[in-house]
Amino acid sequence: MFFVVFGINNVFAQQISIGFGYGMSNAQMTGLKSVNRTTLANLPFKAKQVENFPSAQEYNFEFNASIFKKYSLGVCYNYFSTGSRISSIDYSGEYRFDNISTNTSYGFINKFSIFEAKAFLIQFTAAFGWYKSKFKLTEVLNLYQTQSNQYENKFESKGMFIKPGIDILYSFKFIKIGLYGSYYSNTENEISLSRNNSLKLVVPNTNHKVKTDWKGFQYGIKFLISSFNSKNK
């Protein structure tokens, strides 16, 4: 499909852009937060949820070409990572239950210019494609520096995503700088053990299967480099 688009672009495109984005993203992570709550409640000692999937840095990359005057099409890549920790440290030892979650998305991005005035450009963006999530769950119990128990399990999940958004850009020659905002939504799929897909991550006690939930807003700054086609001249 990418090559089809490029084929069209070769006929009608007037401009090609490569862009990078950096910003913040939050995610609901409903199922994993439930895992944390239950784990915390089951601990026999006093502990705290010190981190619980906070807003974290988000990176994205896109490559697109204008097909019509106000419409361009391209491919995109998105990377987001967050995590959680249940912690307790006292004189006798320490306990940690860490979860590092990363989400990688790639797909197509559509852009519609909805406002242009001099150097300002406002675009409605709509990305869709596939995502792949990875979860690294690590539980550590160290006692009196004599006993050390560490359990690490890796999980993963795959699915589809859609991300509508808006870019507000300022053009300076062939460079565009601006802000972006979008809402990321994904299909909620079960999370499986990486080394054995038949084993699913469940909420302790209830045994409800945990599903990916990256839904949330993303925002940040965007930097684009554009090139001009000779047909436009």
Partner 1 sequence: MKKLFFGLIILLFYSCEYELQDDFYNNIDKDVDKPTATVELNFATDTLYLSYPSYIDFKIEAGNHKFNWVNFYINNIKYGTYYSSTGSFEISPSRYNYTDGTYQIKIEAFSNSGTGSIADCVGSEGFLFTYNWVMVISDDANLSPQIKKICRDNGKLRLDWSMYKSTNFKKYLILKSNTNNDWDTIIRVYDQHTTSAYDPSYIGEEAIYAIRTIAGLTLFGRSLEYKDTVPQLKISNYGDKSFKLKWKSYFSNNVAGYIISEVKKDVYGYNYITTLPATDSTYIFQNGKFGVESELMLTTIPKNTPSYFSDEFNRTQYYSSKCKGIIGKKSFNVGQVYVPNGNSLIYRTSNAIFLYDYNTRKNSDSLIFSNSFQIGSVSPDGNYILGVENSTNFFVYNVSTKTKKNVSFSDITGSLNYYYFMAMANTGVAVLCTTKNYYVYDFVNNNLIASRTDFDYWALYLTISADGKYFSNGYNYFFKIEGNAIVQLPDITNNLYYYNFNPCNPEEVIEYTPNGSIQFINILDRSVSKSIPISCDVIQNIDFKAGKILGSTKSEFKVYDLNSGSLLWSYPTFSQTNFVSYQFQLCKDVIYWYEGYLIYL
Residue type for position 91: Y
**Amino acid at site 24:** M
Stretch that binds partner 1, among 29-37, 46-54, 122-130, 195-203 (CB under 8 A): 46-54
DSSP state of 37: H
Closest contact distance (angstroms) between CB of 160 and partner 1 is 20
> From the list 42, 147, 196, 206, which residue makes contact with partner 1 (rule: CB under 8 A)?
147
DSSP string of 95-130?
EEEEEEEEEEEEEEEEEEEEEEETTEEEEEEEEEEE
Give min distance, CB of 179 to partner 1, in A: 20
Residue 190's contacts (CB-CB under 8 Å, 6 or more residues apart) are 157, 200, 201, 209, 210, 211
Q: Of 44-52, 110-118, 177-185, 224-232, which part binds partner 1 (CB under 8 A)?
A: 44-52
Q: Residues near 76 by Cβ (< 8 Å), separated by ≥ 6?
A: 60, 61, 62, 63, 105, 106, 107, 108, 109, 127, 129
Is position 28 an interface residue for partner 1 (rule: CB under 8 A)? no
Coil, strand or helix at 69: coil
Site for partner 1 contains 102 (CB under 8 A):
yes
Give me the least distance between CB of 212 and partner 1, in Å please.
16
* Between 145 and 230, CB nearer to partner 1: 145
Contacts to partner 1 by CB under 8 A: 20, 43-48, 50-51, 56-57, 59, 61, 77, 79, 81-85, 87-96, 98, 100-102, 104, 141, 143-144, 147
